[in-house]
Amino acid sequence: MSEASNNGPGPKSPKRRKLLTLTGLTGLSGLAIASWPFLRSLLPSRKAQVLGAPIQLDVSELEPGEQITAEWRGQPIWVLKRDDEMLRTLASENLLDRLRDPDSEVRTQQPGYAKNEMRSLKPEYFICIAICTHLGCVPVYRPERGAPDIDKDWQGGYFCPCHKSKFDLAGRVFKGVPAPVNLVIPPHSYVDEETLVIGIDQEQTRMR
């Protein structure tokens, strides 16, 4: 199993708390504007990941609204469990009108099975490479509604503090920001209801 850090509310285990502390320190010190190579130095490096092997994650303990960060091929990977309100927001016309590519038409940004409204295999789980498509900073998870420092109409999403790009909770980029395209969805699949594999496409996965 791969280790993952928790970015969301309600960490339960000491391991999760420790990893959350790392993430929290990053934000508190203003280092959220740092680029990915710095974050990588904080996270445990594993030989298998360097070699590009798939990683397996147990997502059974994720609470709605909670996000963890894992590492795959030297990149940070977010796994967010979206709640019902998040899912409703992602389908709202009000939001879609403000997005540059709401239908994920840029094919390089997601596998075919994630070219849908929620950009995921299962609506509640959002899996994404946590690297801004502008110049490679790591955006910040900002799930709250209303964030005057970002946007008066903010309904939750990801904010890149480097040059103020904004993405919704499906990683879709807003119009009028520097990032040109949506965040990248990595190949992923499920071997059972609660076990996620990053690095293997759904079609290649056999159920246990």
Site for ligand FES, rule CB under 6 A: 132, 134-137, 160, 162-163, 165, 178-179
Nearest distance in Å: CB 140, ligand FES: 10
Q: Which is closer to ligand FES, CB of 181 or CB of 191?
A: 181
Nearest distance in Å: CB 166, ligand FES: 9
Q: Which is closer to ligand FES, CB of 32 or CB of 55?
A: 32
Q: Which is closer to ligand FES, CB of 73 or CB of 164?
A: 164
63 to 9, 57, 81, 82, 191: CA distances (angstroms): 8, 15, 7, 9, 20
Nearest distance in Å: CB 184, ligand FES: 13
Beta bridge partners of 189: 197
Nearest residue to 45 (alpha-carbon basis) of 18, 13, 70, 11: 70
Contact 121, 190 (CB under 8 A): yes
The tokens describing 179, both together, are 């990032």
Nearest distance in Å: CB 135, ligand FES: 4
Q: Which is closer to ligand FES, CB of 20 or CB of 162?
A: 162
Nearest distance in Å: CB 201, ligand FES: 27
Q: Which is closer to ligand FES, CB of 25 or CB of 135?
A: 135
Residue whose pair of structure tokens reads 């680029």 in the numeric block: 35
CA pair distance 116, 88, nearest whole angstrom: 14
Contact 198, 186 (CB under 8 A): yes
